Structure 1
């Protein structure tokens, strides 16, 4: 990919397009050692996953082209996340898909193979999320970043969406954006029973 890009655009213009230094491309071109951070940035710019680790299963990534732009279909799962007490989901099936521009996903470090779309029910996350809103869940982002919004399976097995805070590794606080819904806490063993499905990285409001 890099050799073709250099051949088509020239070394300096292609480096500028990718947002990397000319030296990085020269290193790749000549086969010299390249720093890990440079390779990671380069892979992200090319829309590639940079991964070092044991073999793992990955799903297929489909590409749709529309008006000259590449789109990735993101699966829309027939399941619901309760912005409240919790939603019970039985057999989950694929409801369809929505197409997102691949460059838009890449800019936000979102891998099409690691995200899905679900529907929110309830009003506890209003005005951020409303009943019927569609949300995109990044299943790679399961480490709690305080004040970020996550989809989770609570200790009773129900699927929920809440703003989370990890307090000194002693408790997890589940907060609703709607002030009429009180905050909840999970301590001790209940912290480990809380399963984070992923971080909410996009939402669409239903009118």
Structure 2
């Protein structure tokens, strides 16, 4: 089970569905030496269940990971991405994984959160204060990005090049992106605005360090 959780972690880093036809191709893509790439290739392919290549790769990328054990069997690991909501950057181009955080499976199931389609990210700016503050971490369930938008719920959305956390309100012929902070303006999305309007997912949880 631990090996499967680690494979899922690496798939989230390289991108779901990404496949390499040869070890050399993977080594070039990841910037790894041939020996490390060979071990990692075998691990991801299921032929090698050792964790050595996993640790080697993370050390080269400057990351850290705690190997899963029996204590994490009831948890799902959700990736945290580099993108920052409110900082005017794209989730697509800034989606590099910076870490993994454990959430109890029972909590995710009870709240109907899809861990395999969820990411964590930090929030910048004060437009959603006092509910969500600058520096908070939010969990975004991306399984809802293709569904009908929900009036009154909080989503991570994109408009032109901006990535924002906003509460959505239905208005005639469009949506209003509402700020919790009344000193910050709301944004109406109508007509041609929909050409650059994107919905990345619904915010289902947030946390902060106190």
TM exceeding 0.5: yes
The answer to whether the 8 A contact 2:84-2:121 is kept is: yes
Aligned counterpart, 2:205: 202
Q: How much has 1:120 moved relative to structure 2?
A: 0.2
Larger Rg: 1
Which deviations, in whole Å up to 9, do the C-alpha atoms of 1:63-89 show, x marking residues without a partner? Answer: 95554851010001011001xxx5224
Aligned counterpart, 1:176: 179
Aligned mates of 1:175, 1:132 — CA distance in 2: 19
Aligned counterpart, 2:41: none
Aligned mates of 1:66, 1:99 — CA distance in 2: 13
Pairwise CA RMSD of aligned residues?
2.4
Which of the residues 144, 148, 151 maps onto 2:153?
148
The answer to whether the 8 A contact 1:135-1:201 is kept is: yes
TM-score, structure 1 normalization? 0.63
Aligned counterpart, 2:13: none
Aligned mates of 1:141, 1:135 — CA distance in 2: 15
TM-score, structure 2 normalization? 0.62
Going by fraction, where is helix more abundant, 1 or 2?
A: 2
Which of the residues 72, 77, 81 maps onto 2:76?
72
Task: Say which SS state the counterpart of residue 165 (structure 2) adopts.
Answer: strand
Aligned mates of 1:140, 1:91 — CA distance in 2: 19
Structure 1 unaligned spans of 5+: 1-56
1:126–1:68 Cα change, 3 Å: closer
Aligned mates of 1:65, 1:106 — CA distance in 2: 21
> Structure 1 segments of 4 or more deviating over 4 A?
57-60, 63-69
Aligned mates of 1:68, 1:80 — CA distance in 2: 28
Which of the residues 136, 159, 166 maps onto 1:162?
166
Give the total of aligned pairs: 144
The answer to whether the 8 A contact 1:123-1:131 is kept is: yes
Aligned mates of 1:94, 1:115 — CA distance in 2: 12
Structure 2 unaligned spans of 5+: 1-15, 19-43, 45-66
